[in-house]
Amino acid sequence: MKTASSISIKTPQEIAILHEGGQILAAITEELARSLKEGMTTREIDRQAEKLIRDQAVLPAFQGYRGFPGCVCTSVNEEVVHGIPGDRRLKDGDIVSLDVGIIYKNYYVDTAVTVGIGKIGSLLKKLLEVTERSLYLGIAQARPGNHLSDISHAVQVFVEANGFSVVRDFVGHGIGRNLHEDPEIPNFGPAHEGPILKEGMVLAIEPMVNMGGWQTKVLADGWTVVTQDGKASAHFEHTIALTAEGTKIFTQTHG
């Protein structure tokens, strides 16, 4: 666990830029989610995302990041995160996670949402609701004076109380001048540990929740993370900041 001193504190000017960027990203992601339909390939989602991003005159943060070949990550059903857009076609009853990041005025913002295609089963619906709700419960713990792991613990407790599991191998992160900054933000662990949260911290909180076991593996493409048991997984993420006016959710529409 990192010490608080390694977590960068953003200035009010930086916070303002990140807020603007977050609002642009929220609009892009909402429109992208609305455009999804049965029969679409994940490559087509990627093309649509790139168009929406370029139309806003911002840059896709993931394209070429450590060699990632897509503009966004598209993770279907048993795919947890980092799905490479390709030939997989969305079917009625699928869920697809969209992870979208942009660079705005040299600052990074990051968000993710999981969307049902057509009519999804009741357990999948519950998975989406629990994952999104766990994100907001984590965000509710992100306030000055709390410990970093209060976020982690709130997510885990709620997810497990609902019979699902939280992914251990991938975590949230600080964000700002870089896509991934300190601290790492696990979605599990005991409360009241790690650095004390302070005003000016900007965090990407991102629970990844599995319907079955928490174990994951990476496919031979070197990117796509899937559940070991092949059961579905959902992912929601917001970039948030601890500000003088309270905690702001930058990547929420009208946040």
Token pair, residue 232, equals 């579905």
Ranges within 27-86 binding Mg ion (CB under 5 A): none
Kindly state the smallest distance separating residue 203's Cβ from Mg ion, in Å: 10
| Phi, psi angle pair for 216, to nearest 5° | -130, 165
44 or 81, CB closer to Mg ion? 81
The H-or-E segment that residue 128 falls in is: helix 122-140
44 or 97, CB closer to Mg ion? 97
Kindly state the smallest distance separating residue 226's Cβ from Mg ion, in Å: 18
- Of the candidates 102, 73, 101, 97, the one whose C-alpha atom is nearest the C-alpha of residue 85 is 73
Q: Which residue has the tokens 């009010």?
A: 12
- Of the candidates 249, 246, 34, 18, the one whose C-alpha atom is nearest the C-alpha of residue 136 is 249
Kindly state the smallest distance separating residue 99's Cβ from Mg ion, in Å: 7
Cα dihedral 219→69→112→190 (10° resolution):
50
110 or 132, CB closer to Mg ion? 110
- Of the candidates 31, 36, 47, 60, the one whose C-alpha atom is nearest the C-alpha of residue 86 is 47
Could you tell me if 159 and 243 are in contact, meaning their C-beta atoms sit under 8 angstroms apart?
Answer: no
44 or 82, CB closer to Mg ion? 82
Kindly state the smallest distance separating residue 205's Cβ from Mg ion, in Å: 9
Could you tell me the end-to-end alpha-carbon distance of the chain, in angstroms, rounded to an integer? 29
Kindly state the smallest distance separating residue 102's Cβ from Mg ion, in Å: 12
Q: Which of 204, 232, 240, 249 binds Mg ion (CB under 5 A)?
A: 204
Ranges within 76-115 binding Mg ion (CB under 5 A): 110
Segment interacting with Mg ion, rule: CB under 5 A, options 4-12, 25-33, 203-211, 242-250? 203-211
Segment interacting with Mg ion, rule: CB under 5 A, options 48-56, 83-91, 201-209, 242-250? 201-209
137 or 202, CB closer to Mg ion? 202
Kindly state the smallest distance separating residue 122's Cβ from Mg ion, in Å: 29
Kindly state the smallest distance separating residue 237's Cβ from Mg ion, in Å: 5
Total binding residues toward Mg ion, as defined by CB under 5 A = 2
Contacts of 123 (CB under 8 A, 6+ apart): 211
Cα 108 to chain center, whole Å? 13
40 or 59, CB closer to Mg ion? 59
203 or 232, CB closer to Mg ion? 203
The H-or-E segment that residue 50 falls in is: helix 42-55
Cα–Cα distance measured from residue 181 to residue 164, given in angstroms and rounded to the nearest whole number: 28
Q: Which residue has the tokens 């790690």?
A: 194
Binding site for Mg ion (CB under 5 A): 110, 204
